[in-house]
A and B are shown apart, each in its own frame.
Chain A
Amino acid sequence: GAVVSQHPSRVICKSGTSVKIECRSLDFQATTMFWYRQFPKQSLMLMATSNEGSKATYEQGVEKDKFLINHASLTLSTLTVTSAHPEDSSFYICSARQGNLAGYTFGSGTRLTVV
């Protein structure tokens, strides 16, 4: 089955620094990947759609200059949280789909804590 690998699983960073999160499709090519954020006791909220070889599409209210997305290959998308602040602390999860008739597979998520 489709496997999506996400790293790191947990990161603690200081306020003002940047953090990069990687999302890889291990056994399939993903021209599109999705990035979600989940705050405690809330559901997943779509942040952006990552498109291989082109600019990401961001949801309303998500700052594209703060959450940089790079989808440079068919198997790798990265999300960089720049100038992180404590309010950016959240669970970040990526997702991809192997074909239009398959389910969406999620990475294991990254727990970001900004101190």
Chain B
Amino acid sequence: QKEVEQNSGPLSVPEGAIASLNCTYSDRGSQSFFWYRQYSGKSPELIMFIYSNGDKEDGRFTAQLNKASQYVSLLIRDSQPSDSATYLCAVTLSGNTPLVFGKGTRLSVIA
């Protein structure tokens, strides 16, 4: 059974701080890892994806992957109130296989 685990939160951080979101997955065969942001009533928006161990940075966002620990994280620097949303971690096997989602972490950035 493929499972993706996330802390549901809410995670509250002050404006300007770093938000750290964590995710673990059960299937060691997972190859691709994604972070999505979902605002209430909207569909998910892709933030970034990562395939290789280590860090990947894109603007204020950094994804970190550790396949040995089956762990992936997302750091949001200089958090803004507009970052307040639910963050979904998703993993997939190789190729065009469907995403398996975690339950999401609700982030609240306090002005």
A interface vs B, CB < 8 Å? 6, 31-32, 34, 42-46, 49, 91, 93, 95, 97, 100-101, 103-109, 111
Contact = CB atoms under 8 A, between A and B. Distances in A.
B88 A44 contact: yes
A108 B43 contact: yes
Given A32-B96, A100-B96, A103-B34, A109 B42 contact: yes
A32 B92 CA distance: 14
Interface string B82-108: 000000101010111011111110000
**Smallest CB-CB A-B distances: 7 pairs:** A109-B43, A103-B46, A106-B43, A43-B103, A43-B101, A44-B101, A32-B96
Interface of B: 34, 36, 41-46, 48-49, 51, 88, 90, 92, 94-96, 98-104
